[in-house]
Amino acid sequence: MKKTFSFAVVHFTVAFAVTYALTGSWVLGGLVAMIEPMVNTVAYHFHEKVWDRIRARREANETPQATESTLAGA
């Protein structure tokens, strides 16, 4: 949990610093630092769902398929 919290602090800090450097606005920096990580968290959830589907397809394609010849001998 400590690692997660420290990463969140780094994420907020970077978001704020980049926005402030580009705009010079403390308000925009603060808004982006709060909103961007929330949006990014939702995007990451869907990103993981897509990769889970890709992984499942690869695993399904790698499992040996029963052929007619092996079924006939059974």
Question: Would you call 25 helix, strand, or coil by DSSP?
Answer: coil
Half-sphere exposure of 26 (CA within 13 A, CB side): 0
Helix axis angle, 26-62 relative to 2-23, nearest 10°?
130
List the chain pLDDT tens, one digit each, 74 residues: 888 888 888 989 999 999 999 999 999 999 999 999 889 888 989 999 999 999 999 999 987 665 555 565 55
Amino acid at 55: R
Range of the domain at 24: 2-60
Q: Is 66 a member of any domain?
A: no
Cβ-Cβ contacts under 8 Å for 43 (sequence gap 6 or more): none
Q: Is 9 a member of any domain?
A: yes
Q: Is 65 a member of any domain?
A: no
Q: Is 39 a member of any domain?
A: yes
Q: Is 71 a member of any domain?
A: no
Q: Read off the DSSP letter of residue 36.
A: H
